[in-house]
Structure 1
Amino acid sequence: MYLIELYILRRVLVLFLAVFIAAIGLTWTAQVLTRIDFLTTNSQTFLTILKLSFLFIPSAIPLVMPFALVIAVSQVFSIMNQDTEFVIIDAAGSTRLVIWRPVLILGVCLSFFSFFITNFIAPHARLNMRRMLEAVHSSLINTFLQEGSFREVGQGIYLEIGEQRTNGDIGCLFIVDQRNPSFDLFYYAINGVIANNQNGNFLIMKDGEIQRRDNRSGNTSIIKFDTYTLNLSAFASVNQTLTIYPKDQFLTYLFNPNPSDSYYQHHTLEYTAELHKRFTEWLYPIVFALIALAVAGNVRSHRETHISISFLAVLSSFLVYWVAYFFAERAKNDLTYIPFLYTIPISISILLIFMLLTNRRICLLIHWSDALYRLSDIWRKIGKGYHHPDKGI
């Protein structure tokens, strides 16, 4: 590899890492913020929320990498063009391959890395994340131990704990069960305790009563009790069986799904679509690298540099990704869309390679370019007038 190629690779790699880390950081922050409700309503520690949000990152990496690459390449090449570095490279007699090779090498490396993350790391992280969520939603012990609050712990089930004693007992317990539209149940108890064994978790209420109100007639019946036991699993608002989706499975499982898998039995097409998606999604770092080269890999005039090359590259990449996403979603219900998952990245790559070899490039239409140039020129003049208010007086 020539010195100029190492120079380009280093600049692109540094900017790529900066954009990639920033995007992943924003994704991680968004996940933490969306889990705040999960933190407060389920009494989880902040460390648990951090762990849960970090488990989401492997799934975001394959999505963020291609866009970070196209931004880095287009931005670096735009700066090099403005600094006339491309002109110097051409004047030195170097071929276009000197500019293309470092970008393509980086794109290929990122594609293999994306394949590894998507098929080996992300499924493991997603499985752990689902198990954590399932464990929290299926166990209401932490919620029961929150005193002084009246909250919904399930679909149509509300709970209030008046006191949590030092010995672990509960005082002043009140439960409202409105799951049945025909009648409502109200549980009152002076004392209570939570017990668990191999059969599950149980709430043992002492010295209380149950009120059953008929919603049609309005009649209320009251039953007093000395001891009454509730199975907490009856209050769970979600299915106790952990549902594993195709995107959570490893590649080996997608090749040979378990016929007894209940989700596979009802959503067979989703497994087939996910398998083919895994075989094609990792190609997009290469496709986006070619897009960046087709947009920014040539010498541009001073007038063209006023138009954001990065914007055009990202816009083109987004359109390609949106089309691929559209067909991937359609393939979940109709297998006739699966060939498009392969033809989109392959055909676009062939087209872009042809454009590069024939010295063509992606650019805006002439009248769009002129309009954007005039708009940027007006904006630049307004900016100069703002910074020099006394000019001309």
Structure 2
Amino acid sequence: MGSIDRYIFRTTLASFALVLISLTGVIWITQALRGIDLMTSQGQTILTFLGITGLVIPSLLGVIAPIALMIAVSHTLNKLATDSEIIVMNAAGMSPFRLFIPFAYATCVVAILVTLIASYFAPDGLRRIKQWDAEITADVLANILQPGRFAQLDQNLTIRIRERQPGGELSGILIDDRRDPKERITIVADRGTVVKNVDGSFLVLEDGNLERFELGKREPAMVAFARYAFDMSKFSNQGRDVALGIRERYLWELMAPAEDDPIYKQIPGQFRQELHDRFLAPIYPFAFAALTFAFLGAPRTTRQSRNFSFGSAILAVFGVRMAGFACSVMTVKSPLAALVQYLMLFGVLGASIWIIIGGVVVEPPARLMEAINRSNARIARLFRRPATA
């Protein structure tokens, strides 16, 4: 790889990384705000919130990476054209296909990244989210114990908390336990925290009073305590099995699903759709990069034709992606839709490479450019300020 190739390769990957991080960050924030109730209503810590919402990032990267590559290739080609480097390299005898080689190297890096994400990292993150969310959702201590409400965990057990402090600490706790027919226990505590260990789940109460009223006795027994552990293991369900969906399956699990898998028996078409989506994921970066270069990689001397080609490249990439989504949806019912998507992507890739090798310049028709120039001149005259004396 020569110095020019290394320069284009580094510039493309640097732009790709910047765009990928920026777009992923923005979309991740919008997704993370939807799970803010983990901290507010369920009393989870900020680390738990960031951990769960952060596991969706690999899935976002897999979707955004081809678009980010298209933007990076467009930026690099525009930079080369603005500095007249494309024209100079073309005049020195470098063909458009030779110029495309470093972009192809950068695309290979992106394709490998997308393959790893689609095969392992994205499903692994989604299954961790599902397991983590199941533990939180199934935990009665985090969901039923809502501030200001009397939660009846059992027929003869009622708990109320006044509020939930940051970090999961509970304050103003009242427990009315009548599960033992021979006695009734009432506990009032200033604060408490949920502690989980190998022995189970406990509600550790601090600074409170315990009143025990035994059957046959006239006066209750009062005990003041500084720290008291109330066993809640019966109401904390942490061992529930989680049924993995299709998106939570690794690539090899989709390729060879178990014959007795109930989800596979119920919706085999969605297994087929997800499997082909995983196979097609690394092809999209090559199609988008080649398509973008086909529109913008040829040397030009006019800014108008470059702007037109840039807009055409965006529309073409958008059209290919939308057509891919449509074929993916139809693959659920018809395997031929998957074949159409493969043919479409390889057709776009082949046509783009043919344009690049042939040095074809994709320019707008002359009449269209004349009409645009006349329209721009008319608009400029309308908004032109009259000269002042």
TM-score of the superposed pair, with normalisation by structure 2: 0.74
- Give 1:309 shift: 4.7
5 Å-filtered alignment, 1:182-331, equals 242-304=242-304, 307=307, 309-331=309-331
Give the equivalent residue in structure 2 for 1:348. 348
Distance, in Å, in 1 between the alignment partners of 2:103 and 2:381 is 36
- Give 1:162 shift: 4.7
Pair 1:168–1:99, CA change in 2 (3 A)? same
- Give 1:128 shift: 0.3
Pair 1:103–1:197, CA change in 2 (3 A)? closer
5 Å-filtered alignment, 1:152-171, equals 161-162=161-162, 170-171=173-174
Write out per-residue CA displacement over residues 85-131 of structure 1, whole angstroms, 9 at most, x where no aligned residue: 11111221222233111111111221122111110111111110111
Write out per-residue CA displacement over residues 212-252 of structure 1, whole angstroms, 9 at most, x where no aligned residue: xxxxxxxxxxxxxxxxx9x8589xxxxx6523122210111
Write out per-residue CA displacement over residues 284-308 of structure 1, whole angstroms, 9 at most, x where no aligned residue: 1111110111111011232425626
Write out per-residue CA displacement over residues 52-107 of structure 1, whole angstroms, 9 at most, x where no aligned residue: 12111111112111111111111221232232211111221222233111111111
Pair 1:372–1:66, CA change in 2 (3 A)? farther
Write out per-residue CA displacement over residues 234-281 of structure 1, whole angstroms, 9 at most, x where no aligned residue: 9xxxxx652312221011111221233221121112112222221112
Distance, in Å, in 2 between the alignment partners of 1:72 and 1:381 is 36
Distance, in Å, in 1 between the alignment partners of 2:160 and 2:268 is 44
Distance, in Å, in 1 between the alignment partners of 2:241 and 2:381 is 64
Q: State the identity as a percent.
A: 23
Q: Contact (CA 8 Å) 1:123, 1:250: kept in 2 or not? A: yes
1:53 partner SS:
helix
Pair 1:261–1:24, CA change in 2 (3 A)? same
Pair 1:61–1:150, CA change in 2 (3 A)? farther
Give the equivalent residue in structure 2 for 1:43. 43
Q: Contact (CA 8 Å) 2:131, 2:242: kept in 1 or not? A: yes
Give the equivalent residue in structure 2 for 1:178. none
1:247 partner SS:
coil
Q: Contact (CA 8 Å) 1:74, 1:309: kept in 2 or not? A: no
Pair 1:306–1:272, CA change in 2 (3 A)? closer
- Give 1:369 shift: 4.8
- Give 1:327 shift: 0.7
Distance, in Å, in 1 between the alignment partners of 2:33 and 2:196 is 33
The letter of the residue matching 2:326 is: F
TM-score of the superposed pair, with normalisation by structure 1: 0.73
Give the equivalent residue in structure 1 for 2:90. 90
Distance, in Å, in 2 between the alignment partners of 1:144 and 1:6 is 59
Give the equivalent residue in structure 2 for 1:223. none
Pair 1:326–1:370, CA change in 2 (3 A)? farther
Give the equivalent residue in structure 2 for 1:131. 131
1:72 paired to 2:72: yes
Give the equivalent residue in structure 2 for 1:109. 109
Distance, in Å, in 1 between the alignment partners of 2:372 and 2:58 is 38
Q: Contact (CA 8 Å) 2:107, 2:289: kept in 1 or not? A: yes
Give the equivalent residue in structure 1 for 2:221. none
- Give 1:26 shift: 1.1
1:307 partner SS:
helix
For the aligned residues, what is the CA RMSD? 3.9
The letter of the residue matching 1:10 is: R
2:174 partner SS:
strand
Q: Contact (CA 8 Å) 1:16, 1:68: kept in 2 or not? A: yes
Distance, in Å, in 2 between the alignment partners of 1:10 and 1:382 is 45
Give the equivalent residue in structure 1 for 2:25. 25
Q: Contact (CA 8 Å) 2:308, 2:364: kept in 1 or not? A: no
Q: Which runs of 5+ in 2 are unaligned?
A: 154-158, 177-184, 204-210, 213-231
Pair 1:124–1:371, CA change in 2 (3 A)? farther
Distance, in Å, in 1 between the alignment partners of 2:172 and 2:328 is 53
Q: Which runs of 5+ in 1 are unaligned?
A: 154-158, 174-188, 208-228, 235-239
The letter of the residue matching 1:108 is: C
- Structure 1 residues 123-132 or 255-264, which shifts more? 255-264
Distance, in Å, in 2 between the alignment partners of 1:364 and 1:292 is 16
Q: Contact (CA 8 Å) 2:95, 2:359: kept in 1 or not? A: no
Distance, in Å, in 2 between the alignment partners of 1:79 and 1:381 is 31
Pair 1:381–1:305, CA change in 2 (3 A)? farther
